[in-house]
Amino acid sequence: MEARNFRYLFENTADGIVLSGGIWNSVDDRCTNFTYVCGLRNQKRSDCTGHGFLFRFERSDEPCHIFILASFSVHYIRILLKMISQRPIETVILPYVSPKQRLALLQWEQGEEAHDADLTEFMAHPYSYLKSAGVREVYLLYGNGEVWSGSREQMAPGAYFDLLAERELQQIQEAEGGYVPVVKAGYMIENDWLFYFGHYGQSGDLYEQPDSIISSSIVMFQSPLYTDSTRTDSVMTGKVFSREKECSPFFNINDKNCIYKCLYEEDYAVFRKHKKTYRIAGCFGTLAVGNVNMGRYLPEVYMRFRSVLMQVRAITLPSCGNREYWNRQCLTMMPREDIQYWICGAERTTSPFVVTDVVTASPKNRMILINGEYGYCFSGYLVPFGEETVEL
């Protein structure tokens, strides 16, 4: 059976939220693994010892093809640098942050301690550091470019990010002391999958200690490209996993039976193919909104992602449900016809008022609170009709 298999796992610690996943296209036996990380606040290394475990994507020996550093968080920067030293990473996407902000963050992080050479070099020149470390493609995002409409012209495989205007690039070059190809947020088509980005909060400053945050954050929508129920049969499941469960978001080239094992061994919710008249495409996507302040940026986020909102099965709460980042109008973005999952990393800034807003707005809303002990996994497959062959 020729199928596109997928799974994505949501995890969190006291520092933020992680979405990591894998796509396995059995037609050409090709795997694509990705990770989206977003730290809520910068914590010094001594503050991170309580995390107590590695994220699933860190445990895996498989390559990570796309790494999205959604916010400029020192904890996740360290993880990225460690991963680069241990395995190949093909593409890194991160917000562009000015040298002044990077220096202030580095000084806050290291204080009077001896400098971490790799972190210091990365903060000085993120683009050149990543390129010299072997990352094939590095995209520093500032502002937003082409809007995804799903037209035939946008379906070709590749990465589509437009350079900033020449005047803006010149200003960046003067600040950086050399040319840096900063781009507007765009999209990627990889392994019949869409990764679509937005960038917000680019004018933010570095806040005072100890909650030092650079407010620039990346939003990501990801979903299979071809989900038309008249041409594709499909199943998607959702289930809770515990810290002890040996789940991996990445597909191992030699063991791809994770999805089917769960169907027999775990309690799960199941979503079948969609044949409703209002629906053009299936509902298999996720929208990770990172630390975007929805009170300020909801209209911009809606206008950029409105063409794909009907395909969003799960959306994260901004800044793990922090009330200051919440906007109740977020609840009107999503269609009410289908069950909608709201993912919230439960931590000390999570507001009960935000959680109550979501669960009382509609009986179709499902609130998933994840923490250091429990995460949530979505997995499934899509099979084109007519792919089965009959031997005569």
Q: Higher model confidence: residue 55 or residue 155?
A: 155
Residue among 224, 207, 225 nearest 108 (CA): 207
Q: What is the pLDDT of residue 53?
A: 57
Question: What's the rounded Cα separation, in Å, for the pair 227 and 273?
Answer: 9
Question: What's the rounded Cα separation, in Å, for the pair 165 and 15?
Answer: 35
Per the structure, the complete domain to which residue 237 belongs is given by: 4-384
Q: What is the pLDDT of residue 42?
A: 61
Query: Is 392 domain-assigned?
Result: no
Q: What is the pLDDT of residue 278?
A: 66
What average pLDDT does the chain have?
84
**Structural domains of the chain, count:** 1
* Most trustworthy range by pLDDT among 84-88, 150-154, 159-163: 159-163
CATH code, 64: 3.60.15
Report angle CA 67, 327, 285 to the nearest 5 degrees. 40
Confidence of residue 242 (pLDDT cuts 50, 70, 90): confident
Contacts of residue 115, defined as CB under 8 A and 6 or more positions apart, other chains included, come to none
Q: What is the DSSP letter of 158?
A: E
Q: How confident is the model over 376-382, as a mean pLDDT?
A: 90
| Assigned token pair, 310 | 């009907």
Query: Is 390 domain-assigned?
Result: no
HEC profile of 282-328: CCCEEEECCCCCHHHHHHHHHHHHCCCHHHEEEEECHHHHEHHHCCH
| Assigned token pair, 17 | 């939220």
Confidence of residue 51 (pLDDT cuts 50, 70, 90): very low
Q: What is the pLDDT of residue 106?
A: 86
Q: What is the pLDDT of residue 209?
A: 40
Tell me what percent of the residues of the chain surpass a pLDDT of 70: 83
Question: What's the rounded Cα separation, in Å, for the pair 250 and 97?
Answer: 29
β-strand pairing of 16-25 with 4-13: antiparallel
Query: Is 391 domain-assigned?
Result: no
Query: Is 304 domain-assigned?
Result: yes
| CA dist 134 → 88, 123, 279 (Å) | 8, 17, 42
Q: What is the pLDDT of residue 255?
A: 58
